[in-house]
Amino acid sequence: MYDRLQRPTSGLHYQVHRAEVRASRSGRICGSGKILYRCDQCDYTTSWPSWLKTHMRVHTGERPFKCNVCDYTSSQSSNLQQHLKRHSDERPFKCDLCDYSCKRGHQLITHKRCHFNKLRAAGVLNLIETIETALPSLLASPGPFPPRSPNP
């Protein structure tokens, strides 16, 4: 530890602390203590310089990520990764009720609604709801037979 009167003048700790003080004086530190990076063209702020670089592509129109199969381009690599699934035959999302499979999770959710709607149309869901409603009272009642007496 440093003595209160001794002022550190070298080392990584001092350099980091000095940069933080300068940033806080310039208003670039948020409430959590992280340095904020601001877009000079809009009110976007972030704690990560790489996110600011990605955001700036909105203003510049730069789209450095290119599909090698078609003419699709993107400003973010994650968007290109999603796009590449269109060209793939991989279907990782599989229905557990039938043979359906798809490339994206939201497509499977939409598909499963078909099963749900078919059950509702057939009246199966109404039957299940009736049983679930009646089951607690059926289990609580003694039934048609008298309760067994304990063996003496």
Give the per-residue pLDDT at 126: 72
From residue 48, how far is each of 33, 35, 61, 78, 81 by CA, in Å? 13, 8, 20, 17, 22
Does the structure show a pLDDT above 70 at 38?
yes
Pairwise CA distance, residues 66 & 75, whole Å: 9
CA 73-74-80 angle, to 5 degrees, is: 90
AA letter at 18:
R
**Partners of 35 in the β-ladder:** 29
More confident residue, 17 or 75: 75
Average pLDDT, the chain: 77
The pTM score is 0.47
Rounded mean pLDDT, 18-47: 70
User: Max Cα separation, the chain?
Assistant: 92
AA letter at 122:
A
Asked which of 46-55, 89-98, 101-110, 129-138 is least confident by mean pLDDT, the reply is 129-138
Rounded mean pLDDT, 67-95: 92
Does the structure show a pLDDT above 90 at 18?
no
Does the structure show a pLDDT above 60 at 8?
no
Give the per-residue pLDDT at 1: 44
Give the per-residue pLDDT at 133: 77
**Partners of 39 in the β-ladder:** none
From residue 35, how far is each of 11, 63, 64, 79, 117 by CA, in Å? 20, 27, 27, 27, 51
Pairwise CA distance, residues 78 & 18, whole Å: 36
